[in-house]
Amino acid sequence: MPRHLSALVLGLLIALSGTASSRAEPVDLNLALAVDASGSVDQRRFELQKRGYAAAFRNPRVWRAIHSGMIGAIAVTMYQWTGPRLQSEAVGWMIVRDQDSAEAFAAAIEAAPRRLFGGGTSISGAIDRGVALMASAPNEPTRRVIDVSGDGANTSGREASTARDEAVKKGIVINGLPILSVEPFLDRHYEEEVIGGEGAFMIAVRDYDAFGDAILRKLIAEIASLE
């Protein structure tokens, strides 16, 4: 092979190798956090969700849960959701493996503005967006989980159970955090139509003021797989 072609082939192989290694960073978990931004969620309620997530990632119990994994690292993203085609990334994929990276993710949550203010309540759309995010994640996880929180049943788009079943077939677990302040029996809907996959679970919370404690417990269970 001519010398200039050999150099070209070698360069391409090195470039491809670097790309593959950058996309294959191993983590124990890919976790997509789907946060309700529908019309029933006023700004106070939305901020309580953000504060709850940020506080959880600053909690040493979450750090210990992360360290309990074989790799000791997780990848996390957060997005807002409302209607079937209305989802917006709030925080892109970040690796969390220690206190500093957990603080960075918490700070990113706090800095993320609200981008959606209505447009229906499509849990199926939220699940579908989570599946797409999993496909584009720049790492190699042992487990994949979509964590859906919200205060209303699926009322637009396709059936939530259809989206759930398709996600589960791809090896993705759907967990839920129904907030019962608007629909007191929303937990039944989540139990029957939303959560799914091996070890799937939900934690129902009575109102937004209790959201912070609930999300802390839920994240610890998800990360450490202690459901």
pTM score, two decimals? Answer: 0.88
Find the CATH number of the domain harbouring 212: 3.40.50.410
Q: Is residue 130 part of a domain?
A: yes
What is the structure's pLDDT at 20? 46
Looking at the domain assignment, is residue 9 inside a domain?
no
How far, in whole angstroms, is CA 89 from its chain's centroid? 11
| pLDDT (mean) for 53-67 | 96
26 in a structural domain:
no
- Please indicate, yes or no, if residue 214 is contained in any of the structural domains: yes
Residue 18 in domain:
no
Q: Is residue 46, in this structure, part of any structural domain at all?
A: yes
Hey, what are 216's tokens?
């802390």
What stretch of H or E contains 35?
Answer: strand 25-36
On whether the CB atoms of residues 125 and 133 are closer than 8 A, the answer is no
Domain total of the chain: 1
Residue 58 has pLDDT above 80, yes or no: yes
Q: Find tokens 């205060």 and name the residue.
A: 151
**Chain segment 205-216, per-residue pLDDT in tens:** 999 999 999 999
- Asked, for residue 194, whether it belongs to a domain, the answer is yes
* Residue 14 covered by a domain: no
pLDDT for residue 118: 84
Domain range spanning residue 173? 34-224
